[in-house]
Structure formats: C-alpha cells, structure tokens
Homo-oligomer: A and B are copies of this chain.
Amino acid sequence: MSKPYVVGIDIGGTNTVFGIVDARGQVLASNSIKTRKHSNINDYINELHHELKKLMEATSTVDKIHGIGIGAPNGNFFTGMIEDGVNLPWPTPIPLAKLVSDKFGIPVAVTNDANAAAIGEMTYGVARGLKDFIMITLGTGVGSGIVINGQLVYGHDGFAGELGHVISKRNNGRLCGCGRTGCLETYCSATGVARTAREFLEIRHEPSLLRNIPVDEITSKDVYDAAIAGDPIAKEIFEYTGEILGEALADFTVFSAPEAFVLFGGLAKAGDLILKPVRNAMEKNMLSIWKGKVKILLSELKEADAAILGASALGWEAKYLDATPAASAPILPA
C-alpha cells in the first residue's frame, strides 16, 4: 500500500482535534486548534492545513495519506457538507469536503461525529467483526451510528441514525433543543442527567450530597461523584436514566436486530451505575425472541484518541466529491 495512512479530523463546538493514523489504528501524531478562532471558514481551513502539514512532515507521511475523514456536527456523507442548524461560527451549508480536498489535494469524506465513532469502533475497536451493531454516544446530546450488514446506515439523504431524537416520553416530555418534547437525549445525555438531578432535588426532600452544589450548576459528573460516594438520590438518578435508555434500546432492537449496542461517552464511563439499570430495563422490555441475546458493550477506544480514530477510519472510504459551494441539491458520491 503506497498510501498507508489516513488523517482523522473531529470538529467539535470548541476544539478541532486531528491526527495521522495507520492501518492498525495507531495515532502517529495529533494536535488541536480552536474551532472558533476564525470567523472565515477559509482561514480556519488554512490553519488546519498548516498544522496538519507540520504533523505530516514530522511523521514523514506527506505523500502517503490515503484519505481524510472528518467527523462534524450535521456532517453529511453524501454531500460532503455541514448542513444547516449547527452551532459553528460559519454560515451553513458548508461545502467541507470540497474545501478540505481542494486545499490538501487528498480525497475527503465527511459524516457526523456519532457515525464516525461507529466506523471507528468497527475498524479499530470493540465492534471489530460485528456486522450489525448500534453505536450510542452519550455526550452533551445522544448520538448514534447504525451499522447493518457491515455498512453504516446513511438513509436516503445522509441523515439517518438520529436515535437521540426518538420520543421517550410521549406526554409531558422535556423540551428538546430540536423544538419537540420528550426526546431520548433530554433524559439520557449528560445534560439530561443534570436536568433529572434538578427535578429530583426539587421534588424530593431527603438529604443528598448534591444539595451542597448550587442547583443550576450540577453536572452529570457531580451526580456520578455523589453516587460513587453512596448518595441514594444520585444512584436513583442513574437508575432513572438507565431505565429510559434500556427501554429505548429494546425498541431499537426490533428495528435492526443488532448483535450489540456499543456505548461511548461521558455517561458510559459511569460503569455499572448506568449499565446495570440499562441492561435490566432492556431485558425487561425486550421482545421475547431477543431476550438475553443482545449485548451491551462499552467502547474500547482510548478517549483521547477516539474522536480522531473514528474520523480517520472514514478516511479509508474517502473519494473525491464533485461538489461546489453553490450546489443546492444533494450530490451523490461518484
């Protein structure tokens, strides 16, 4: 293989992390820049290029990059664009694949961060060898990447797999950032756990370690720390969260009959505090043909590298797209 390396770029709301990765998933070198430093997208891409060029030179991989994979909010695999409705400093839609491949002279593939995580897990992580699994990312929101028969599900428009937005509570559900109410992510994200904490502390009257923290400042990390310290309300918050997630996983199973769910992100690190209620609720709500058959796995990718690895895995699939900034209709890959 004359081009045995890929570049992974993960564009987050605050930081953009990137690195050079080999076929075995070793990160040769990585770095980051501030996503919001440049109000002009071209300046941002120039800085990204400048920094990545340095990494390529340091690792002697300048002419050996097979492709660049980018995970970005609302990144669309089919169009190579960052679509509308994201919290980034540039006007959308952004023809990201086109801009980056023009600058680097290397093929680029784009998808959202949860899809990138699923591809990363399948290529380098705990989902190696699995052909049917669903990645659930439990971060500020709840994201997902669905793999069926070894292929990521993009749907007819490139946006499939928004499982954070299935409705968990049909009535009196929490208001979601998407404008609707009751979405899974209003309960099972880090933000959702903090909201649950505020609700529980308001309704309940037992003492709790969480009462030492100003109620508007409680984070899911605080709830975790309190639960580890034995706080009953904090433990109940994880049980409540896990139960809603487990119910949702049972519903997802009837769709694609996955062999496993792979959990990733801050909440997944709460270990048995969250896993036990998730497993219990999933089994309790599971259609009988799947009882005891669907695994819940934790991501095995090192957190520091996971975003880069996920995006980089997509680099192996990168092709040049014939997209232009002015294009209004979705452009299918060649």
Chain A interface (Cβ < 8 Å from any Cβ of B): 83, 85, 131-132, 146, 148-149, 151, 153-163, 165-170, 178-180, 247, 250-252, 254-259, 285, 287-290, 293
Tell whether A254 pairs with B163 under 8 Å between CB atoms, given A131-B156, A179-B288, A247-B170. Answer: yes
Instruction: Tell me the minimal C-beta distance from A264 to chain B in angstroms.
Output: 19
Who on chain B is nearest to A178 by CB? Answer: B287
* A179 CB contacts on chain B under 8 angstroms: 288
Q: How far is the CA of A158 from the CA of B158 in the complex (A)?
A: 25
Q: How far is the CA of A163 from the CA of B157 in the complex (A)?
A: 22
Contact of A254 among B83, B166, B170, B259 (CB under 8 A): B166
Q: How far is the CA of A178 from the CA of B289 in the complex (A)?
A: 10
* A83 CB contacts on chain B under 8 angstroms: 289
A162 and B254 within 8 A (CB): yes
Who on chain B is nearest to A166 by CB? Answer: B251
B289 and A85 within 8 A (CB): yes
* A146 CB contacts on chain B under 8 angstroms: 255-256
* A252 CB contacts on chain B under 8 angstroms: 255
Tell whether A247 pairs with B167 under 8 Å between CB atoms, given A156-B132, A257-B160. Answer: yes
A293 and B157 within 8 A (CB): yes
Instruction: Tell me the minimal C-beta distance from A187 to chain B in angstroms.
Output: 12
Q: How many copies, total?
A: 2
Contact of A163 among B178, B255, B289 (CB under 8 A): B255
Who on chain B is nearest to A155 by CB? Answer: B257
Instruction: Tell me the minimal C-beta distance from A74 to chain B in angstroms.
Output: 9
Q: How far is the CA of A307 from the CA of B52 in the complex (A)?
A: 58
Tell whether A167 pairs with B132 under 8 Å between CB atoms, given A155-B258, A256-B160, A257-B156. Answer: no
A155 and B256 within 8 A (CB): yes
Given A146-B255, A255-B255, A255-B256: 18 more A-B contacts, CB < 8 Å: A131-B156, A146-B256, A148-B155, A153-B255, A155-B258, A156-B259, A157-B257, A157-B290, A159-B289, A160-B256, A161-B255, A162-B254, A162-B289, A163-B255, A166-B251, A167-B250, A179-B288, A252-B255
Closest 9 CB pairs of A and B: A155-B257, A160-B257, A132-B156, A156-B259, A162-B254, A166-B251, A160-B256, A165-B254, A165-B287
Q: How far is the CA of A288 from the CA of B159 in the complex (A)?
A: 12
Q: How far is the CA of A158 from the CA of B180 in the complex (A)?
A: 34
* A157 CB contacts on chain B under 8 angstroms: 257, 290, 293
* A167 CB contacts on chain B under 8 angstroms: 247, 250-251, 285
* A156 CB contacts on chain B under 8 angstroms: 131-132, 257-259
Who on chain B is nearest to A131 by CB? Answer: B156
Who on chain B is nearest to A132 by CB? Answer: B156
Task: List 16 A-B residue pairs with CB atoms under 8 Å apart, sorted by A's residue number.
Answer: A131-B156, A132-B155, A146-B255, A148-B148, A155-B257, A155-B258, A156-B257, A157-B293, A161-B255, A161-B256, A162-B289, A167-B247, A170-B247, A178-B288, A255-B255, A255-B256
A151 and B149 within 8 A (CB): yes
